[in-house]
Amino acid sequence: MTTQEVLAQSIVACKELTARFLPGFTDENRTRQAPGLPNHVTWCLGHCSLMMHRLAERIDGKRAPEAEFVGGDEARRPANAFFVGSVDFASTPVDDTERYPPLARAFEIYGAACDRLAAAVRDAADGTLEREIAWHTSKITLRLLAMRLVFHNGTHTGQILDLRRALGLERVLQ
């Protein structure tokens, strides 16, 4: 199995692994936060989606779909999309359902971002994945960054699990 295929399968697996922790979240509580846990489930899904699209763009040169992410003026954001500024790195999640898409749509966007990044990685030449880029405060190869984003998705899924406990939702792992 190629490096591209291993990475692509790891990225696609994020969909199922994250979905395990969504039961009990609804459109009514999708932006609820808990003391000491500043993120909410919809922010986590949007943030991870945006980061995956940003890496995919570095590989395939295509921007995140406007139907999923709107930049510029937040007032332009349709109800079924994310405003980039509300889920970007260092953004501050807020408990306001009007600022985020419905939960099912947020997970649909997350799944599409997983699929897009997996396809970009799968189709990339070895030389492309070995290209080093600046990412936040360091330099990293696209290959290592793809693996890092799998870990990133897992980190935010862990935050969703913590949030489940804090909100008193039923356990999903026994």
> How does 48-67 read in b/e, with b if 16+ C-beta sit within 10 Å?
bbbbbbbbbebbbeeebeee
How much is the pTM?
Answer: 0.97
Q: For 22-71, write each residue's pLDDT tens digit.
A: 999 999 999 999 999 989 999 999 999 999 999 999 999 999 999 999 99
Distance CA 2, CA 101 (A): 36
Give the DSSP H/E element, type plus range, for residue 109: helix 103-123
- Domains located in the chain, CATH noted: 3-167 (1.20.120.450)
Strand partners, 140: 133
Quote the pLDDT of residue 173.
Answer: 81
What are the tens digits of pLDDT across the range 98-141? 999 999 999 999 999 999 999 999 999 999 999 999 998 899 99
Sign of CA dihedral 44, 49, 52, 57: negative
